[in-house]
Amino acid sequence: MNPLLIPVVAAQAVYVRLSTETLPPAGGPDSGTAGGTAGAAADAAAGAGPLRIAVVGESTAAGCGVERHEDGFTGQFARELSARTGRPVDWSVFGRYGATARRIRYRLVPELDTGLHVAALLAGVNDVLTRRSSQDWGDDLAAVVGELAQRADQVLVTGIPPFGEFPSIPKTLGRYLGERAAVLDEVAQRVCSEVQGVTWIPSANVLPMGPDFFARDRFHPSAQGYREWAQVVAGKVAL
């Protein structure tokens, strides 16, 4: 980016911080089961019990933008997987508002169980916003991905959402953040390619983001946005 635009970026960043509403994480239980129980006994007898999934990450994993986890990414992801497989899905959420990859690595991942079928990682936005270096991001992400791969049969890592699409972010600031995100995404793609069973999903797969994609803060997804996002990620699950 042109260095002459940095003062504009700084001013717009201050404006966004002061004007953007802070939405709380989703309420209610942070674990549950999606999908009906009809036929569950037969499935169990056939050795096909519920799928076990976990979603870990930042505020999107925590469900900011919706009132209940059932309407957030995790609940929508679980329902989509249940619909695709015909099996119930046991889900758990491990998300924290403002979490960087460093916090996810040391505070959240150790809480996850082993024996998961799928683990999804939603991260990177806060690493961009806090100006973490690509080296630090890569080191923490590699550790997180490695740990998740030991706990789950398949790991899905989502690309950093496109800041330029966020209604709450002015154009110049969005372009600046997008450039920083692209650098971290490049690192993420490389890290994920080096670990078996890990799939990186670029944020471009979720585009375009329509007016109903965002919650009232115009930053986090709405229930509709989480649904669209979860459908894309579920399509990458090999089950």
Predicted confidence at residue 6, as pLDDT, reads 84
* Mean pLDDT of the region 12-34: 93
Spell out the domain ranges in the chain. Answer: 3-16+48-234
Q: If we measure between CA atoms, which residue out of 224, 222, 218, 184 comes closest to residue 203?
A: 184
Predicted confidence at residue 7, as pLDDT, reads 87
* Sequence-ordered list of residues with C-beta below 8 angstroms from that of 136, at least 6 positions apart, any chain: 101, 102, 127
Predicted confidence at residue 78, as pLDDT, reads 98
Query: Is residue 37 pLDDT above 90, yes or no?
Result: no
Which CATH number does the domain 3-16+48-234 belong to among 3.30.420.10, 3.30.360.10, 3.30.70.270, 3.40.50.1110?
3.40.50.1110
How many CB atoms neighbour CB 217 within 10 A? Answer: 17
Q: Is the peptide bond before 110 cis (omega within 30 degrees of 0)?
A: no
Return the higher-pLDDT residue of 41 and 181.
181
Query: Is residue 2 pLDDT above 80, yes or no?
Result: no
Reading the block at residue 18, the tokens are 């002061």
173-225 tens-digit pLDDT = 999 999 999 999 999 999 999 999 999 999 999 988 988 999 999 999 999 99
78-117 tens-digit pLDDT = 999 999 999 999 999 999 999 999 999 999 999 999 999 9
One-letter amino acid at 70 equals E
Predicted confidence at residue 46, as pLDDT, reads 44
- The C-alpha atoms of residue 53 and residue 126 are separated, in whole angstroms, by 24
The band of 4, judged by pLDDT with boundaries at 50, 70 and 90, is low
Query: Is residue 59 pLDDT above 50, yes or no?
Result: yes
In the sheet with 31-34, reading across from the earlier edge strand, the strands are 31-34, 89-95, 51-57, 116-122, 152-158, 198-201
Pairing, β 89-95 against β 31-34:
antiparallel
Predicted confidence at residue 115, as pLDDT, reads 96
Predicted confidence at residue 58, as pLDDT, reads 98
